[in-house]
Amino acid sequence: MNKKRKMMIAGGICAVVLIAAAAVLFTVNGRKNAGAAGDVAAGDDSSSVKNEDGENGESGTAADDGGAGESSSSGSAGTVTDGTAADDGGAGESSSSGSAGTVTDGGSVQQGEDGFFPYVIEGTELTVQNISSYDGIFLEDGSDGEVTGVAAMVVENTGDTNVEYAAITISCNGETLEFDASDLPSGATVVVQEKNKTPYQSGTYTDCSAVVAEMGDFEMSEDQVKVEETESGSLLVTNLTDEEIPCVRIFYKFYMADEETYVGGITYTAKLTGLSAGASQTVTPSHYAAGNSRIMMVRTYDSTE
């Protein structure tokens, strides 16, 4: 990711996350002000939320994607408009990737104070902080295309357990919106764009439910590999064992440290193969932004598949 694009995206996301955070504190004419944001990402491995960066190439979906590649589209920084109050929260289905976890089918959302956000999704530890309109770069499919007026949701994991995958649905004016998120740590907040690019609309939100897959600690494979961020923004991966590791995948998300918020439900994956005993390889994921990305998991595999 080039420096200009990274600064543009980060600046836009920072602005909208700040709006989202401030929105939680106020109600206006019986409505909550809401905020949301988005930024940075790439290719797909095994699910609609987890995307994979390969060793060389361009960003894309359902394919190995650019280790040394650059995302193929550009866009302006995102902006948001006010969200509205809701009657209910959101829903979804569990992920097929990663370790198995507890799956919870959520029901209707418990109303927040005075009928406004935040909303707790019944049967889960997820809280919908707000829903708003988003203009900017679309993250959730790895395409990085520009969108206008797409619905975006701010979700917090208030539980003590990490969430591997959450699929949230909510209805507004007879239309169902879907929000998918992966790899959300306990206590963390994420801004998620509506997966089908459904436009935001004011009105009453109802029929919210969620399916959530929980997991234990995020695997880092620290006894097998060491991952370091280089000055150039690449990742240096070192094999700590005395045997070749056929495949290493590094799962990462965009993260705004100042706002303590993950951006995009999507989790990206950088892949490298044939890591010899004691050797190091450098990978440059096309959507990894040094200083604005957080490594979620590191996994090793016995084959390159």
Q: State yes or no: pLDDT of 59 exceeds 70.
A: no
Average pLDDT for 201-210: 87
Counting beta carbons within 10 angstroms of the beta carbon of residue 208, is it exposed (0 to 12), middle (13 to 18) or buried (19 or more)?
buried
Q: What is the pLDDT of residues 6-41, one digit of tens each?
A: 554 554 455 445 544 443 332 222 222 333 333 222
**Alpha carbons within 13 A on the beta-carbon side of 135:** 8
**Alpha carbons within 13 A on the beta-carbon side of 265:** 29
Beta-carbon contacts of residue 111 (< 8 Å; ≥ 6 apart): 87, 119
Q: State yes or no: pLDDT of 224 exceeds 50.
A: yes
Answer whether 0.85 is exceeded by the pTM.
no
Average pLDDT for 49-68: 40
Query: Greater confidence, 106 or 209?
Result: 209
Residue 40 contacts residue 1 (beta carbons within 8 Å):
yes
Average pLDDT for 116-130: 89
How big is the chain by its Cα radius of gyration, in Å?
19
- Please state, rounded to an integer, the average pLDDT across all residues of the chain: 73
Least confident of 173-182, 197-206, 231-240: 197-206
Q: What is the pLDDT of residues 72-82, one digit of tens each?
A: 333 333 444 43
Domain limits, the chain: 3-40+72-215
Only one residue has tokens 């357990």, namely: 161
d(CA 290, CA 121): 34
Q: What is the pLDDT of residues 231-290, one digit of tens each?
A: 888 999 999 999 999 999 999 999 999 999 999 999 999 999 999 999 999 999 989 988
